[in-house]
Amino acid sequence: MDAVRPSGDQFSQVLQDSFTTWSSYRNGEDGQLPRHAIELNHLVNQTPPFLGGLAPLNGATSFACEEKGGLVVSGRSTWRTSKGNCDSEPKVMPKELLLAVGRRLNVILSDEAPFSVWPGVHGLSGYDQSNQLSVLYVAWAYILSARWLELLARSADHECRMAYSKPENLSPQLDKPSIVEIGDAGEEEAFWWRAILSDDWDATTKYKDREYLSPWSVSAKNAGLVLPTGVLGAESNPPDSGTALKYLSRFCIHHRLYAQCSVALAGVLYIPFLRKRTVSLPFPRCVRHEREGVADEFDVPITKTLDDHSELLSNYMTLSSNKWGLRSLLQSTFFNPDIDCNLVSAWLNPAFAILKSIQSKTSVAAFLANRNPRLGSLWLGAILTGLADSVLRDIRSGMVALDLTASGWTGISQSFLTSKMENSHGELLSRDDESRLLYILASEGHDRPPLWPFKPFGFSRLEDTDIAVRKHARCAGHCLEYESWEWILTNGRLIVNSEVHTSQLVRAPVPSANGVSTSAALHDYDYDFDSQDLSEGFTYGIFGWLRSTGYPEHERPIYQHSWFDLEDPDDDEPDDADSDLEIQQTPKKNHVEKWLGGIE
C-alpha cells in the first residue's frame, strides 16, 4: 500500500465527483452574466473601513507607516482560538497594508480588451446598452483617491493634497480620440470630467519630506478619452468624494449604466496590485436614450446601487490595499475543505479541463461566479483588467497563497485551518487538527500559517506530537475564528474595528440550481486527468510545514516517498548528518518557493 498516493479507487471516485460538481457550474451558451456576478457589496462582510473610517483621531496622532518602495501602514487582526474553557490565548496576526505609491497605473484603450462587447446580465433589460467601462474605471479611481485623502488627512504626519495639474497636449499617436458624452453637466462638473479623462489630477501625501500618490492613481493620457468639442468647463477646486459620486451618478443615469458601474469598481480594486503594469480597457460606445421626463424607471436602481457603494467605499479600499489578500480570495474559489492534499489533482483537474474548453471571457466569469457567487464581481474585475489569466495559470501550477486576514474580513474560507476541529479521545490525532493546534499554539517552527490550503491526510500518534499539542488535543472548543481588526497608531494607541457580522467562515455553495445539466463525460475533454502533479506539490508543501522540525520514525514511508524528493541526487543542499528526517529544499520545488517569497 502506498503511504502517500491515494488508491486508484479513491482517486477515480473523487475525480468523477469533482467533474460532476464543476460541470454543474457551466451556464448555457446565451452569453450573459448571472445576476449574482455583479453584487460587489456582498463581499464586504466584516471588512473594516480604511484607516478606521471617519473615526476621529484625538490629539496629534498618526498612523504607523513604513517606507517600502511605497508607504505601508500597520495593523493586526485578532482571532479567537477557543470557544470552551481552554486558556489558549487569542491569535494576533500583524499585517501591512498599502497606503501610498510612487507611480500611477497607465490606462489605454484596445479593441481586444475584455468586455469590448458588453454581454449583458440576466434580468437586467434596458441597462448597460452603452459600453462605458473605461470611463467608469477612471472615475472610480478618482473617487477612491479622494476618499483616501479625506481619511489620511486626519493623520498629523501627513500633508495631503488634491489638485488639478496643468493639462497636457493629447498624445500625438491618438489621432482618433474617443468622445465621452457626459450629458447636461455643469461647468465645474465638466472640468472634473476633462481632468480625470487624462491625468490632470493628483492625490498626494507628503511624508518625511517625500511625496507619494494615492494607491488608486491612474493616468489615462494615452487613452484618448475626450469631451465633445465646446464642452470646456470652468476651473475650480477638485471635488471631494461625495461630490464626485454625484457626478458619477448623473453620468450613469444619463447612459443607464447599472452592472458596468459595479464591474468597473471591482476592476479599480486591483489597481494597487497592477500599478507597475498597463491596463487595456474597452473603447467607449454610446447608445443614446430618449428621456421623456426628468426621471424614469431606470434611475432609482442606479442611484440605489451607487448609494450602496458609497456606504461601503472605505471597506472596499481596505480590501484593495491588501493586494495579495485580494488575489487570495480569487484563489479560494478552488478551495474545498473536504479534500486532502494528496487528492488535490482529482479535485482540480476537472475544473481546469472545463475552463480550458470555455472560449469566451463571459462564460469563464459565469462559471467562476457560479462556483462562489460572492466572488463573482471580483472575477469580473480581474477579467476586465487582464489579471484573471495569470491568476488561473498560477492556480493550475499549484502556486497559491493563503491570506487569513482577507479570509476573516470577507468570511470566505481559504484554508483547512479555519475548519471545525474534532478533539481527540484516543491515541490518534488527525494531522489537520494537529496542524491547527500547532499554529494556534505557535509551537516551534509553526508561528506562521502554512500557505498551502488543503489539509494533510491521515493521523498522527498522539505520543509523537508536540508537547503543547498533546496538552490541548482533548480540549473541546478549539477554533480559529476572526474577531477584530486594529489600525496601529504611532503613539501606541489603536483604532479597533470589531466584528459586525457573523465570524463563521462560509464554504463554497452547493452546485447552482442555475447550472445546466450536461451529458458530458471525462473522455469528452482533452486533458490529462490522471496527472497527480498538483497533489504532489500540495502534499510536499503542507507536510514540509507540518514536519518542519522533523518526522517521527514511524512516518519514514512518507518522508522517503518519491513525492518528497528528499534524497534527490541533484539536491545542492548539504545533508544533515544528525537526522534524515528534515525536509531539504530541492531544485524541483525552487520555482514555487521563489514565487511564494515574492508575496511577502
Closest of 269, 377, 209, 378 to residue 50, by C-alpha: 269
Cβ-contact 378, 330 below 8 angstroms: yes
| Positive or negative torsion for Cα 278, 282, 286, 287 | negative
Q: Name the strand (E) or helix (H) holding 383.
A: helix 376-384
Tell me the C-alpha distance between 191 and 203, whole Å: 17
Question: Which residue ranges make up each domain of the chain?
Answer: 1-38+80-92+322-550, 103-321
Tell me the C-alpha distance between 205 and 89, whole Å: 38
Q: What is the pLDDT of residue 519?
A: 65
Q: What is the pLDDT of residue 440?
A: 95
| Positive or negative torsion for Cα 13, 18, 20, 21 | positive
**Within 13 Å and on the Cβ side, how many CA atoms surround 551?**
19
Cβ-contact 405, 415 below 8 angstroms: no
Tell me the C-alpha distance between 250 and 306, whole Å: 10
278-281 and 105-109 as β-strands: parallel, antiparallel, unpaired?
Answer: parallel
Closest of 397, 395, 470 to residue 427, by C-alpha: 470
H helices of 48-201, in order, are 133-152, 187-196
Q: What is the pLDDT of residue 233?
A: 67
Instruction: Find the Cα–Cα–Cα–Cα dihedral 394, 400, 406, 412, rounded to 10°.
Output: 90
Question: Which residue stretches of the chain have pLDDT < 50?
Answer: 170-173, 292-294, 501-504, 510-517, 568-588, 590-591, 594-595, 600
Closest of 391, 409, 408, 413 to residue 330, by C-alpha: 391
Chain segment 489-508, per-residue pLDDT in tens = 988 888 988 655 444 455 55
